[in-house]
A and B are shown apart, each in its own frame.
Chain A
C-alpha cells in the first residue's frame, strides 16, 4: 500500500465555493479526507453582537446565500422570541409560502450544480437555473429583491403579498410539477447518473445520529426527523406536513429526498393559499429603538433547506449580548470524511454535491 496525498481546492470548479480538502488515496481508493475550512470566515456572530436587533438581518441572510429567506426568518424568529412579539396569523401563512418557495429554488440550484459536478451534465444545470429564475421572479414580486430579500419584520413582513401573487404562484407551481417529472426522466434514466448515485457514500442511520447531521442528509439515512414535523412552527402543524424519508443513506437517497421535498413544498404552498386567513401581514416598522427584550435567553430551531439551524440569543435590552449559530452545513460537513472512506476518488465530488454545502454557512 502506498499513500498519496492530494490537495483539492481551495479554488476548484466542483467544491461549491472556497473549500479545501486534503485527500489520502491508495491508488484510486480514498483512505481519508481532511477538510480545511475558514476561507470565508468573517465573524457574523461577533458582528451581530455589536449591532442593534434590526440592523442584523442582512448579515444573517448572507450565511446561507442560496436560501437567504430561511436565514432571515430564523433570525427574526429568535428576536421575536426575545422581545416577546407575536406573529400575526396571516403573516404565518405568508412566511410559510415564501419559505417553501425559497426551499424549491434552493433545491433547484443544488440539482443544477450537482448535474454540473458529476460529469458535465450541463442540461441539468441549465434546466435547474431556468426554473430557479422563475421562482426568483415570484419572490422578487413579493419582496422587491432578487436575492437578499430582508423582508421579515417583527410580527410579520415588510409588505403583504401583491394582489396577483396567488395566481402567478399557482401557475408557476403547475409548471414546476411537470418539470419535476422531466428531471426524474432526465436523471434516473441516465445510467451514468445512476452509477454515480446508487450505493455510493452510504451513511448509516446510527452514524448519522452520532455525527449530528440534519436535514435531507439525515432523512436520507432513514431517520424521521424534521423540525417542521417534530417541533412545528408557523402553520406546518395545520397543513399536515409529511417529511420525505428514504432508507438507504447513499447519494441516490439524498438526491431523492430533495426531489420529494420539492414535490411536498409544492403541495404545502397550494394548501397554504387555500387556508390563508384574511387580515394584515405587515410587521412593525424598523425603529432605532426596539421594544426592550423580555427574555434573557431565547433559542429557536428552524428547518432550513440544508438542515436544522439553531440560534441561541442572550439578550440585552437593545442588542444581543451573546449570539451563537448552529450552522446545518457545518455539521453536515463532518460526515464527508466518514462516508468517503473506501470510495473512489472521483466519488468525493459526487458525495460533496449531495451533502450540499454552502461555504458561507460553514465558515460563518
Chain B
C-alpha cells in the first residue's frame, strides 16, 4: 500500500485507514477480543484524564504529617484504630510536603511559624488544599489577644474547609475531608 503524506501536518493520511482494516481483519479472525481498544496513548489519556484523574484525586487525599499544637494530637488520633481514616482513602500521612495533597493546620499559628508554613505550602504540588482545623487556626481561638499569634491561618493561606472546636474531635476532621471531597465534585457516602 502506498502512503500519502499531508504536507502541512506531516502525518500519513492513509495510515489510519490501514490500521482500521487491520483491526477489522484481526477481529474477524478472532485474534483480538472486541473489548481491546486501539488508540494512541496520548489520545487515551486525553479522553480519560478529566474523569479518571479527578476520581483518583478525590478518593486519595493524602494529608501532610504536620502538627502544630493540641489539635495535632487529635490529628494523630484520626489515624488511630478507633477512627481508622484509611477506610475512606485519607490514607497516608506524608512526611514531606511534596507528596501531600492536603495541609491540615492543627494548632495556633505564631508569627515565627508563618514563614515555615508558607514555605511548606509552596513545596506542595498543585492542586493543594488547606483545612483550618480548630479554633486557633480558624480565628485565633483563645489566644486572639496574644502578642505572638496570627488570628487565623486564612490571613496567610487560602483555606478550603474550616473545622471548629477546641479541639475538634477526630470525627470532625473526617467530616472536613468529606466536605473537601464534595467540594471537588465527588459523590461521598455519609
A interface residues (Cβ-Cβ under 8 A, vs B): 10-11, 13, 17-18, 38-43, 46-47, 50, 58-59, 62, 65-66, 109, 113, 125-126, 129-130, 133, 146-148, 359-360
Contacts and interface: CB of A to CB of B under 8 A. Distances in A.
B99 to A, nearest CB: 12
Contacts of B66: 11
B44 interface: no
22 contacts: A10-B116, A13-B95, A18-B113, A40-B68, A40-B110, A42-B143, A42-B148, A46-B146, A47-B143, A47-B146, A62-B69, A62-B70, A66-B73, A109-B73, A126-B80, A129-B77, A130-B81, A133-B81, A146-B169, A147-B73, A147-B167, A148-B167
A18 B148 contact: no
Main secondary structure of the interface of B (DSSP, over half): loop
A17 B68 contact: yes
Interface string B135-172: 00000001101111100000000000000001101000
A153 B107 CA distance: 26
B80 A147 contact: no
A114 to B, nearest CB: 13
Contact of A11 (B70, B74, B120, B147): B120
A41 B142 contact: no
A325 B107 CA distance: 21
A38 B147 CA distance: 13
B73 A13 contact: no
The 3 closest A-B pairs by CB, nearest first: A129-B80, A65-B70, A13-B95
B125 interface: no
B82 A39 contact: no
Given A13-B65, A147-B73, A147-B167, A38 B112 contact: yes
Interface in B6-40: none
Contact of A130 (B68, B82, B148): B82
Contacts of A39: 110, 112-113, 116
Contact of B108 (A42, A46, A125): A42
A62 B142 contact: yes
A55 to B, nearest CB: 10
Interface of B: 65-70, 72-74, 76-77, 80-82, 95, 107-108, 110, 112-113, 116, 120, 142-143, 145-149, 166-167, 169
A133 B78 CA distance: 11
Contacts of A17: 67-69, 72
B94 to A, nearest CB: 9
Q: Classify the interface of chain A: helix, strand, loop or mixed.
A: loop
A40 B146 CA distance: 12
A217 to B, nearest CB: 21
B91 to A, nearest CB: 13
B69 A40 contact: yes
Given A11-B120, A47-B145, A62-B142, A18 B68 contact: yes
Contacts of B149: 42
Nearest to B82: A133
Contacts of A146: 169
Given A39-B110, A109-B73, 12 more contacts: A10-B116, A17-B72, A39-B116, A42-B108, A46-B147, A47-B143, A50-B145, A58-B166, A65-B73, A129-B82, A359-B69, A360-B69
B112 A129 contact: no
Contact of B116 (A11, A38, A360): A11
A146 B116 CA distance: 30
A146 B110 CA distance: 25
A42 B112 contact: no
Contact of A126 (B68, B81, B148, B166): B81
B178 to A, nearest CB: 20
A42 B142 CA distance: 10
A115 to B, nearest CB: 13
A360 B142 CA distance: 14
A46 B120 CA distance: 31
A229 B166 CA distance: 34
Contacts of B72: 17
Nearest to A129: B80
Contacts of A148: 70, 166-167
B20 to A, nearest CB: 54
A12 to B, nearest CB: 8
